[in-house]
Chains A and B, each alone.
Chain A
Amino acid sequence: MPQDTKSIVKAIANGEEVGSHIHKALDDVDPILSVENFNLHYGEKQALFNNNMVIPSMQITALIGPSGCGKSTLLRSVNRMNDLIDIVRISGDMKLNGESIYDPNVDVIELRKRMGMVFQKPNPFPMSIFENVVYPLRISGERNKARLEEVCERSLRKAAIWDEVKDRLDENALGMSGGQQQRLCIARAIASDPEVLLMDEPCSALDPIATGKIEELIHELKGSYTVLIVTHNMQQAARASDFTAFMYLGRLIEYGPTSDIFTNPHLHDTGEYVSGRFG
């Protein structure tokens, strides 16, 4: 397919409406999450413009784009973390397994329990490794020790950190290295068997070796979890994800299978961005 050479960057600068270019491959996926006409304002400033996309189930979807393009904002809108910011207003909706996320009757706390979230900076809680992992169960009132221990071991194994910490589960989590802390946070995010795992640049605060381990881990999670990951790192998106969405200034520009986006993008701007010539 020939590349569309018309510059979307220029079109946006000229104030033109631009649509999203969504690949055909996404028409027949099994969606777990769908974004419908989603707009978001921080006070007066609009951060997301009429986003429409579907996230395929049990696949890894990466959100890429230059700084300030709204990819983190979009991710945080999925589990309504933006509710915590007073000045945020939204319109449009998102649906998780067909159920509305932004319906006024939705219990935000129950909604967040159905998703796991991993943040940019590792943020373990000031408590033992064990308590960190079972935190989502604790807040749901789980007291059965055997069940807690079972979940702890399973989550830590899935997060590929069990062998490193199994002998010091009672130690404070803040004493671990940065990479270990981030894997602990992933273990915590998957402890309650979430339907979607949201990752907000999970490797940006880590050294290359720790980054490699996390990427490997993300790869292993494929098939058991739906992962939506925001990343700054093009190689990471290329290596780890199945689908990639390119965003620019709050608009979804191009969305398709990762291999296509990186080797055969339909839009000229996408090609420029993934090859590092702009952004």
Chain B
Amino acid sequence: MSDTQSAKKGLGGAALFYYGEPMVWLTGSALVLCVLMILGFLAYILWMGMSTFWPRDLTEYQLKNNAVISGEVHIEESYELPEGAFGNLSTEIQKELQPIITNGNSDRIMVRTCNYDVSGTHFDWIDANLITKQSDPEWLCFMERLSKKPFIGYPQAFVIDGQVSVEGSKETWDALHKVLAEVQSRFKKRRALEKHALGDLRHEETDARMYAIEVMLESGEDSAEHKAALDAYESAKARISKDSQVILGEIDALKLENSKYQIRMQTGDGKTLEIPVAEIVRIYAPNRAGLFSKTGVYLSRWWEFLTDDPRQANSQGGIWPALFGTVVMTLLMTMFVVPFGVIAALYMREYAKKGPLLSTVRIAINNLAGVPSIVFGVFGLGFICYIVGDWVDQTFYPAHVHEALPVFKKGGILWAACTLALLTLPVVIVATEEALSAVPNSMREGSYGCGASKWQTIWRIVLPRSLPGILTGTILAMARGAGEVAPLMLVGAVKMAAELPTDPSASFMHLGFHIYDLSYHSQDSEAAKPMVFTTTLLLIVMVAVLNIIAIRLRNKLNKRFNIQTF
């Protein structure tokens, strides 16, 4: 005790540094700062992502210039009045607002008005001083539509076959809900027919045509085989077109049945619009809905988000194809990268002679990890798609080449997985090498001492023992691969894929690319913003889930191998 004190005194100001407390505080607070930033970022994404789908209340504002604006309030803020503010209003109102104009500061709110097809705007800014009356009308409804932006308005009348069937908000609401479910199920049926039945027929037709061309290329144009194949194709085509007619007939019948019902909606400022019931995805009146039905809307939106296709340039609807594409692509990538990475690391650690060559290779691999990802994209496009893909097409799809229809000579999920496997290879190699070198030499010697060969030692002792470390590398590679976007733009990720990528040559949708596309390439960025947050949340959750699975697996293995020996 006294020794310590005298030491402190003796060292004077340096004593603090001598005992290291400032460094403890410095390093500790740096860590806290890092953790806080990460937590803050996650909390922000979580809050924005989770709250997007909650149905907001709708408010109606009456303004001094007799305009009526209704919608969801998104932002309330104070602002500095610009030069010539209120200039478009009448002189009386301007006179009334003179003190505020002189003051120069005011409050404003941003209302999401929707009704783009009626008003031509998505959002409106209202100065708070213009509001004369504010109300939450009971029957103001929020309607999500299939092919257009959402609509906010009052149900006015229900129309069947062009005849008004009932009028009044409540009556219209009830009449609508009597038929809504069946109309929606008819629509789903129609979409399934279009997507699957017609799609299958199209594929069948292409296959038959390609087969005929293949026969022609093999046996010559005038050969008997080609004639037979052509005949087969013609008959297949006739059958397919007949089948298509039947399906198209079914689709038309469903369309006709659905087009009977229309709903007439009135906006807050009195304009009316007739909307086909088949267009309605979801309609709710938030001001009269209780917590229970709001929760219902919230959950149904999440369900749609996770399981459905996107609508309206991806800014509405679901992201199922992107989720599917991301998971499949990541798994494919893992299947490629892990065996290659482990084999490469095994050779480098267990077989290769130490020397300048090995060091060079190791440095090269570490540098590979630092290469910008877009470079891998360019390589993937230039080499994998255009050279390897071209070879595959020339060899296996001569008919497609003849028709200038590339199969593998373009971006696709297989090539994307290969490109990302290359990108994440260094991660796996480095982690595996580390895991291999962490296997105690005494275990290797024990195995050799029993008369095991090198490969037996590696296979039975070294690999099982380093499995947890290899899995760590795999986790890192998966997390990196799932979040990568830039190279995918070049090798197969697309804004909208008609079908799920069940075929290795198919283009696919990807969550990361989806986020990029929504943020920068949608014509209505404010409407897409919530979707960006939700998709980001989903991507983070997906990566987290993949990681948690792998970490649990690793811990299980760790328990098996790393029991304290003494």
The answer to whether A109 has its CB under 8 Å from any CB of chain B is yes
Q: State whether the Cβ of B447 lies closer than 8 Å to any Cβ in chain A.
A: yes
Beyond the given A113-B450, A123-B445, A174-B565, please list 15 additional residue pairs across the A-B interface where CB-CB is below 8 A: A112-B450, A115-B449, A117-B450, A123-B440, A125-B446, A126-B461, A126-B560, A127-B464, A136-B451, A174-B563, A178-B566, A188-B446, A188-B450, A189-B449, A198-B449
Q: Which of B440, B453, B566 has the most chain A CB atoms closer than 10 A to its own CB?
A: B566
- Closest Cβ of chain A: how far from B451's Cβ, in Å? 3
Q: Which of A117-144 contact B (CB under 8 A)?
A: 117, 119, 121-127, 135-136, 138-140
Report which B residues bind A (CB closer than 8 A): 353-354, 440, 442-443, 445-453, 456, 460-461, 464-465, 560-563, 565-566
CB distance from A77 to the nearest CB of B (A): 13
Q: Does A116 contact B (CB under 8 A)?
A: yes
CB of A123 within 8 A of CB of B563, answer no
A73 at the interface (CB under 8 A from B): no
A251 to B450 alpha-carbon distance, docked (Å) = 28
A-B pairs, 3 with minimum CB distance: A113-B451, A117-B449, A174-B563
Q: In the assembly, what is the distance between CA of A243 and CA of B447, in Å?
A: 29
30 contacts between A and B (CB under 8 A): A84-B445, A84-B448, A86-B353, A109-B453, A110-B451, A111-B451, A112-B448, A113-B451, A117-B450, A119-B442, A122-B565, A123-B445, A124-B446, A125-B460, A126-B461, A126-B464, A126-B560, A135-B452, A135-B460, A136-B450, A139-B447, A139-B450, A139-B452, A139-B456, A140-B451, A175-B563, A188-B450, A189-B449, A189-B450, A192-B450
CB distance from B123 to the nearest CB of A (A): 63
For residue A137, which residue of chain B has the nearest CB?
Answer: B450
Q: Is the CB of B447 within 8 A of A135?
A: yes
CB-CB nearest in chain A for B559 = A172
Contact of A139 among B353, B460, B560, B565 (CB under 8 A): B460
Interface size on A, residues (CB 8 A): 37
Residues of B within 8 A of A116 (CB): 449-450
Task: Using CB atoms, name the residue of chain A closest to B442.
Answer: A123
List, in ascending order, chain B residues with CB within 8 A of A126's CB.
443, 461, 464-465, 560-561
User: What residues of A have a CB within 8 angstroms of the CB of B561 in the complex?
Assistant: 126, 174
With a cutoff of 8 Å between Cβ atoms, the chain B residues found around residue A123 in the complex are 440, 442-443, 445-446
| Pairwise interchain contact B451-A139, C-beta atoms closer than 8 A | yes
CB distance from A21 to the nearest CB of B (A): 31
Interfacial chain A residues near B456, Cβ < 8 Å: 139
Contact with B along A184-209 (1 / 0, CB 8 A): 01001100100000100000000000
Q: Which residue of B lies closest to A112 (CB)?
A: B451
A93 to chain B, nearest CB (A): 21
- Is A79 interfacial (CB-CB < 8 Å)? yes
Q: Is A34 an interface residue (CB 8 A)?
A: no
A residues within 8 A CB of B446? 117, 119, 123-125, 185, 188
Q: Which residues of B contact A18 (CB under 8 A)?
A: none
Residues of B with C-beta under 8 A to A127: 464
**What CA separation (Å) do A3 and B338 show in the bound complex?**
68
B208 CB, min distance to chain A CBs, angstroms: 53
Interchain CA distance A126-B451 in the complex, whole Å: 18
Per the bound structure, the CA–CA distance linking A138 and B456 in Å amounts to: 10
Q: Of B354, B450, B565, which contacts A135 at CB under 8 A?
A: B450
- How far is it, in angstroms, between the C-alpha of A115 and the C-alpha of B563 when the chains are bound? 29
Complex CA–CA separation, A178 to B560 (angstroms): 17
A113 to B451, alpha carbons, bound, how many Å? 4
